[in-house]
Structure 1
Amino acid sequence: MATPHIAAEKGDFAPAVLMPGDPRRAERIANLLMPDARKVSDVRGIGAYTGTVDGKPLSVMASGMGMPSLGIYANELFSQFDVRRIIRVGTAGGLAHKVKVGDVVVALGAHTDSAMNTTRIPGIHFSAVASYPLVAAAVAAAGSDTTIHVAPVVSRDHFYGNPAEQVQALADYGTLAVEMEAAGLYAIAAQYDREALAVLTISDHLLDHSQDMTAEEREHNFERALALAVAAAHC
């Protein structure tokens, strides 16, 4: 049955959902991948689409920005619509010199400065990690492409005003990118014994803004990340 934020019925969603942040990107992905896609929900402008890719069912739904927004949809998809895995397909900012604008990061885990995961298990610092089968499928699909990286990211509550020394420390500890959703997604998947992964295109770089993507480029330069996400969705 429909939920407060998803106007769909059980069976309208595939077991695997690709989840970009932007509703326009969700529609673009659905049109690109699934000629048979149908819109199954459109509450508050957050479109959800279901169709098939190579004969296998797949859904695409936007999450909005940040962990609170994504958390609403991930909770409802996992708990009410029999979704088994969610793969975030998004953009991220580069933190380390080893990643360049246009590279793709498969987020093995996600540090966070958010309080959302601190109360999940009292007395425990929860580790927000991706589901291994999804990581393995994405890595296999990447092949020998050296512009695709597997590493931790950091999920921030604040887009602006993060301390420069903290950014440097994260990079020193092997964190390659910053975004705003993965840590929340990974925790919610663990809560429901489901699977999750984030596959992120580096759209800008905190150390060098000279090559940052334009807003239009952010909306179109995600094909390689999308291919890895589909491989994970159907592994």
Structure 2
Amino acid sequence: MSTWLVGPLGELPIDSKGQPVALDEGNGIRRASSEEVLAVTGSAARCFDPQSLKIVALLNAQEQQRFHPGSGQRLSAHPDKPGVARSADGQLYFPRIDPAVIGRVQLAGTDKILLGRNAQRSSYFSLIAGYVDLGETFEAAFTREVMEEAGRRIQQVQYLCSQPWPFSSSIMVGMHAVTHDEHPVASTDGELIETRWCSKKTLRSGEIALPAKGSIALRLIQEWCQ
């Protein structure tokens, strides 16, 4: 009969010595706090350096790819394919990447774009963003996110650029679209506590706090102001 330990996390199997049974040993990777990272990099902008982003992505993959999600087999790092893991019988497992869209929404006939202040990150204004759902194109995802977060309908959706975002195993896909809806035409999901139309003059003036240097959000805003 199996022996179980009942605690805050529910029932856990224990061995003959009364210790919780672990599926695997540690892999030597330790997560660092933001303070530790900044002490090494010197500035937040360095976190957006392409080489640094790739290192973070590889470390995340090594930490997360421990067992094959389909077969449950133990995985090990592939010797010739960085970021790819393999099982003992040769099955390959490629790292999970969650695509997200982020972009400018221009008010038709003006030089204004829509910025929002997120309820979780309320100290600055940024662009509308969100994850791509199953079966969605980037264009459809951006259209949905703008409606959900800002209550606006958009047209002329275009791809602009992209940026890896390995901190959440994502890639940010930059978009641009146009709307005729100066005001919301539908209720929103509450993710944004404020939205604001900003002209190029306002964006250049420094009147409002913008995203961090090196981020795709700031890049898209700065390119609009040129």
Q: Comparing both structures, which one devotes a greater share of its residues to helix?
A: 1
Higher normalized contact order (CA 8 Å, seq sep 6+, divided by chain length): 1
By the TM > 0.5 criterion, same fold?
A: no
Larger-Rg structure: 2
TM-score (norm 1): 0.30
